[in-house]
Chain A
Amino acid sequence: MKDDMPEVTRAEYCVIACAEAWRGGGEILASPMGVIPSVGARLARHTFAPDLLLTDGEALLVGADGTVEGWLPYRQHLALVTGGRRHVMMGASQIDRFGNQNISCIGDWAKPRRQLLGVRGAPVNTLNNPTSYWIPRHSRRVFVERVDMVCGVGYDRAAEVGARHHRIPRVVSDLGVFDFATPDHAMRLASVHPGVSVDEVREATGFDLVIPDEVARTREPTAGELRLIREVLDPGAARAREVAV
């Protein structure tokens, strides 16, 4: 980092890693869920992906400065999803090696040990538009061998049903960035955030992660990006409540 910049926090590396999900996306809707993906999407919109569409979290499309530029009530949102011009970043209570994701319940679906949100729009998202995931606390409880209820569809399931618009560009956690760029689309460690070791990631993952010989480091934010994050997009540092380090 530059000498005049305070040290980059883990949360800020996560923001950068999430923002990168929308690089090159063009004129599509960025649908971030969670604080860090939201800061990331807006960072992308402010810098390298100016054509992105963003919502106010409800029914309005808003420009970088908050100016209303369109109307997107739920019913039209669902049309946009199936039209495919959207890249959503969802959360995951569980995710497996092929990217199957669960936000519905833990345990037996018929009488769950813990009822969570329900499938929500995960099935429609994953069958229709690029879907990435954000996981603020990387652990074996989240990165599991097998999810209890498949809400978001992974690569193995997508192949079985011949899903033609299925894609999971990336998974971002507080430890690193993951993708499915392997011959059988098993999850691969794409980069570790600075300060995180490969062993740490392996230890926190409940399945056999593909680890390349050379593991990249998540890139540094530019001085301009850091200023945007700290002074414009998240001056209250809500990001630090999602990732504390």
Chain B
Amino acid sequence: MGDKTMTAEEVVSRLRSGMTLGIGGWGSRRKPMALVRALLRSQVTDLTVVSYGGPDVGMLAAAGRIRKLVAAFVTLDSIPLEPHYRAARERGAFELTEIDEAMFMWGLRAAAHRLPFLPVRAGLGSDVMRVNPGLRTVTSPYDDQETFVAMPALRLDAALVHVNRADRLGNGQYLGPDPYFDDLFCEAADEAYLSCERVVDTAELTKEAAPQSLLVKRHTVTGVVEAPNGAHFTSCAPDYGRDEAFQKRYATTPWPEFAARYLAGDEQAYRSAAGEEA
């Protein structure tokens, strides 16, 4: 069993332009922002991003790295509409596969189970069918003969997720109230990269937390990055809440100015720049 720890730069060096990239978390909650920032420092672009979208999508959209987005929404939670995502959509900056939240989850599940699709009731009758002309339906072979959307598997080339704790082998633990869908992202991906607030010994993981907090299993993980404050400015309960003041600055500062001030240097520079103004 190998030590999978690596730096965020090493993670990004394994990603390629044109990849389909799943990003864990939800809205502005426990997003792998340190990995996204590392991605922004790289030249990787032309991405198909699959995300319950938050500022991860907003930043990658603002930086012109997205060729296609697969999402049910993009939000900052406390600020309902993500301004950089909005601006990118309104200038037609990338392709969008807009699907329902449940369709999204079943797409990940289908990929995790190596199924070509899973039947979902969601989507029928809505314009999700109009804007995704490739979507097909499937009819139950049983007496009910109900028709469903055949949600295709959302297979990912790579996934990025952030959790509270992990060991060096890739066992990941969430300590907040919601696992979101991070385990599914890892299972749906050929390679998954897990950042965490703190790398601990395996035995430490269950010393104070119940085993059901062990969300991500090591066989689905390629690399582990220790990234304290690595979800900033999104929430990472119970380690920290959302940095609302900083998020507001992100939402109201013109992108070139924001990028120059916070994203020009490395993660350490980001932390000092963000911290100085706190």
Contacts of A59 in B (CB 8 A): 177-178
Residues A118 and B71 in contact, CB atoms below 8 Å apart: yes
Chain A proximity mask over B92-106: 1 for CB below 8 Å, otherwise 0: 100000111111010
Q: Indicate if the CB atoms of A109 and B131 lie closer than 8 Å.
A: yes
* B177 near A124: Cβ-Cβ < 8 Å: no
- Closest Cβ of chain B to A106, distance in Å, is 10
Contact with B along A100-126 (1 / 0, CB 8 A): 000011000111111111111111101
Is B126 at the interface (CB under 8 A from chain A)? yes
A120 touches B73 (CB 8 A): yes
Contact across chains for B73 and A118 when beta carbons are under 8 A apart: yes
Instruction: Determine the residue in chain A with the shortest Cβ distance to B80.
Output: A117
Given known pairs A128-B122, A158-B125, the reply for A119 and B102 (CB within 8 Å) is: no
| B103 adjacent to A124 (CB under 8 Å) | yes
B128: Cβ under 8 A from any A Cβ: yes
A-facing residues in B46-83 (Cβ within 8 Å): 53, 71-75, 80-81
Cβ-defined contact, A123 with B81, below 8 A: no
Task: Determine how close the nearest CB of chain B comes to the CB of A119; give it in whole angstroms.
Answer: 6
Residue in contact with A150 in the complex, picked from B53, B91, B126, CB distance below 8 Å: B126
Choose from B125, B130, B178 the contact partner of A161 (Cβ within 8 Å): B125
- Total interface residues in chain A, CB < 8 Å: 45
Shortest C-beta distance, A37 to chain B (Å), equals 16
In the complex, what distance in Å separates the CA atom of A162 from the CA atom of B80? 33
Task: Tell whether A214 is near chain B: CB-to-CB under 8 Å.
Answer: no
Chain A residues numbered 164-192 whose CB sits less than 8 Å from any CB in chain B: 164-166
A198 at the interface (CB under 8 A from B): no
User: With an 8 A cutoff between CB atoms, is A64 at the interface?
Assistant: no
Question: Which one, A2-10, A15-23, A72-80, A225-233, is touching chain B?
Answer: A72-80
Which one of A73, A110, A153 contacts B178 once the chains associate, using CB atoms below 8 Å? A73
Checking A104, A118, A127 against B121 with a beta-carbon cut-off of 8 angstroms, the contacting residue is A127
Query: Within B2-48, which residues are at the interface with A (CB < 8 Å)?
Result: 26
Which residues does chain A contribute within 8 Å of B124, judged by CB atoms?
A: 123, 127, 153, 161, 163
Q: For the complex, is A218 an interface residue (Cβ under 8 Å from B)?
A: no
Say if the beta carbon of B272 comes within 8 Å of chain A: no
Q: How far is the CA of A163 from the CA of B124 in the complex (A)?
A: 8
Contact: B127 with A149, CB < 8 Å?
A: yes
A128, B85: Cβ atoms closer than 8 Å: no
Q: A114-B90, A119-B73 are in contact. Are A127 and B122 (CB under 8 A)?
A: yes
Is the CB of A211 closer than 8 A to any CB of chain B? Answer: no
A65 is an interface residue with CB less than 8 A from chain B: no
- Cα A75 to Cα B112 with chains together (Å): 15
28 A-B interface contacts by CB (under 8 A): A78-B102, A82-B122, A104-B127, A112-B89, A113-B90, A115-B85, A115-B86, A117-B80, A118-B53, A118-B73, A118-B74, A119-B126, A120-B100, A121-B101, A122-B126, A123-B103, A124-B100, A124-B102, A124-B103, A124-B122, A127-B121, A149-B127, A150-B125, A151-B127, A153-B124, A161-B147, A163-B124, A163-B125
